[in-house]
């Protein structure tokens, strides 16, 4: 961004210059994040308040982001993300291709069973929702494409943990308290490890009121053609949809859908290479 060039020229190429550049980049990303999270265009003062930045700094960053076509200034003088910022991937990017491949499959699962059905990808130890078919109810189980709910209380989190190597798994759960989100949350590491062993062997996980009371979920791991776990297909919604009779049926169909994608989707193979 232009502001970074100015500051680098002022501060020089030493540690001070690098720190200034890094700080400016972080603040620019912070401003862009505020705009991405908003459902409408924001005024300069609204951006500054949400980002907790001085008005002058916010103005400078917004101008740089406009100049680099990451932000658009409306006729009314408000700011919103540009088309380039909101839709940065080319149409034939593997992620866009996979989204098109799974849309009908997710909708079919949702229509047959009721709960929202989502495809979640693993970016290292982070989880992101690529596509979702909303269920037959007004409550949405996800509010963000980047999932931040605890690993030990969610289906996608358990599936990710179960398919990590032991050292990576320990980094995420060892030595840290397993906080209870509900009375049903697993808070004992030994008990969680037993469940993860089962999840790893079965490729299937459940969340029965463990993250939000009244909301349940189940899901299966999504693997690449070389058997590497790259994501999960998850059904989630009100607990009335999840019973001892319905969960086995969901498990079978989730596994069938996952296997179909693994063996037939060229887009999934491309995504697997992208995530290596």
Strand partners, 220: 204, 233
Q: 82-135: per-residue pLDDT in tens? A: 999 998 999 999 999 999 999 999 999 999 999 999 999 999 999 999 999 999
Is 60 exceeded by the pLDDT of residue 77? Answer: yes
Number of domains comprising the chain: 2
| 247 and 116 in a common domain | yes
Query: Considering the chain, what percentage of its residues have pLDDT values greater than 70?
Result: 90
| 155 and 112 in a common domain | yes
User: What CATH number is attached to the domain comprising 21?
Assistant: 1.10.10.10
16-20, 40-44, 181-185: lowest mean pLDDT where? 16-20
Domain that holds residue 115: 94-274
Cβ-based burial of 197 (10 A; exposed 0-12, middle 13-18, buried ≥19):
exposed
| 160 and 38 in a common domain | no
Q: What band does 6 get if pLDDT is binned at 50, 70 and 90? A: very low
Is 80 exceeded by the pLDDT of residue 222? Answer: yes
Is 80 exceeded by the pLDDT of residue 14? Answer: no
| 149 and 241 in a common domain | yes
Last residue of a domain, one of 86, 121, 138: 86
What is the structure's pLDDT at 208?
A: 97
| 191 and 269 in a common domain | yes
What is the structure's pLDDT at 141?
A: 57
Provide the mean pLDDT of the chain: 90
| 79 and 157 in a common domain | no
Residue 235 host element (H or E): strand 229-238
Question: Within 13 Å and on the Cβ side, how many CA atoms surround 196?
Answer: 25
Q: What is the 3-state secondary structure (H, E, C) of 251-263?
A: HHHHHHHHHHHHH
Is 60 exceeded by the pLDDT of residue 59? Answer: yes
- Report how far apart, in Å, the C-alpha atoms of 195 and of each of 12, 120, 189, 205 are: 54, 20, 10, 9
Q: How many C-beta neighbours within 10 Å does residue 75 have?
A: 5
Q: How far apart are CA 93 and CA 42, in angstroms?
A: 30
Is 90 exceeded by the pLDDT of residue 7? Answer: no
Of 153, 89, 87, 156, whose CA–CA distance to 117 is shortest?
156
Measured over the CA atoms of residue 198, residue 201, residue 122 and residue 155, the dihedral's sign is negative
What is the structure's pLDDT at 153?
A: 96
What is the structure's pLDDT at 102?
A: 97
| 179 and 98 in a common domain | yes
| 163 and 227 in a common domain | yes
What 3-state class would DSSP assign to 192? Answer: helix
Last residue of a domain, one of 52, 68, 86: 86
Is 50 exceeded by the pLDDT of residue 9? Answer: no
> 113 and 103 in contact (C-beta within 8 Å)?
no
| 245 and 140 in a common domain | yes
What is the structure's pLDDT at 11?
A: 37
Cβ-based burial of 105 (10 A; exposed 0-12, middle 13-18, buried ≥19):
buried
Q: 239-259: per-residue pLDDT in tens? A: 999 999 999 999 999 999 999
User: What CATH number is attached to the domain comprising 229?
Assistant: 3.30.450.40
Is 70 exceeded by the pLDDT of residue 17? Answer: no
Q: What letter would DSSP give residue 62?
A: H
70-84, 105-119, 139-153, 173-187: lowest mean pLDDT where? 139-153
Is 50 exceeded by the pLDDT of residue 10? Answer: no
Q: How far apart are CA 150 and CA 156, in angstroms?
A: 10
Last residue of a domain, one of 53, 86, 119: 86
| 131 and 80 in a common domain | no
| 160 and 80 in a common domain | no
Of 100, 268, 137, 119, whose CA–CA distance to 215 is shortest?
137
| 119 and 24 in a common domain | no
Q: Please give the span between the terminal C-alpha atoms of the chain, in angstroms, as a whole number.
A: 30
Of 169, 155, 79, whose CA–CA distance to 119 is shortest?
155
What is the structure's pLDDT at 16?
A: 52
């Amino acid at each position: 961004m232009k502001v970074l060039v100015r500051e680098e020229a002022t501060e020089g190429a030493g540690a001070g210059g690098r720190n200034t550049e890094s700080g400016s980049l972080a603040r620019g990303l912070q401003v862009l994040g505020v705009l991405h999270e908003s459902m409408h265009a924001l005024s300069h003062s609204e951006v500054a308040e949400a980002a907790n930045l001085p008005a002058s700094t916010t103005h400078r960053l917004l101008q740089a982001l406009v100049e680099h076509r990451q932000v658009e200034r409306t006729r009314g003088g408000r700011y919103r993300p540009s088309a380039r910022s909101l839709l940065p991937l080319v149409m034939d990017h593997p992620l866009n291709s996979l989204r098109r491949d799974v849309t009908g499959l997710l909708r079919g699962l949702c229509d047959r069973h009721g709960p929202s059905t989502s495809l979640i990808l693993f970016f290292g130890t982070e989880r992101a929702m690529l596509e979702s078919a909303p269920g037959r109810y007004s409550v949405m189980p996800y509010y963000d494409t980047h999932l931040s709910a605890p690993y030990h209380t969610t289906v996608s989190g358990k599936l990710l943990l179960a398919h990590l190597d032991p050292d990576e798994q320990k980094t995420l759960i060892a030595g840290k308290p397993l906080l209870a989100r509900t009375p049903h949350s697993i808070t004992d590491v030994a008990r969680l490890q037993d469940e993860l062993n089962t999840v790893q062997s079965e490729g299937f996980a459940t969340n029965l009121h463990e993250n939000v009371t009244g909301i349940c979920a189940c899901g299966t791991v999504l693997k690449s053609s070389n058997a590497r776990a790259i994501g999960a297909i998850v059904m989630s919604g009100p607990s009335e949809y999840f019973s001892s009779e319905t969960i086995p049926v969901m498990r079978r169909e989730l596994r069938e859908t996952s296997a179909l994608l693994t063996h037939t989707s060229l887009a999934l193979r491309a995504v697997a290479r992208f995530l290596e």
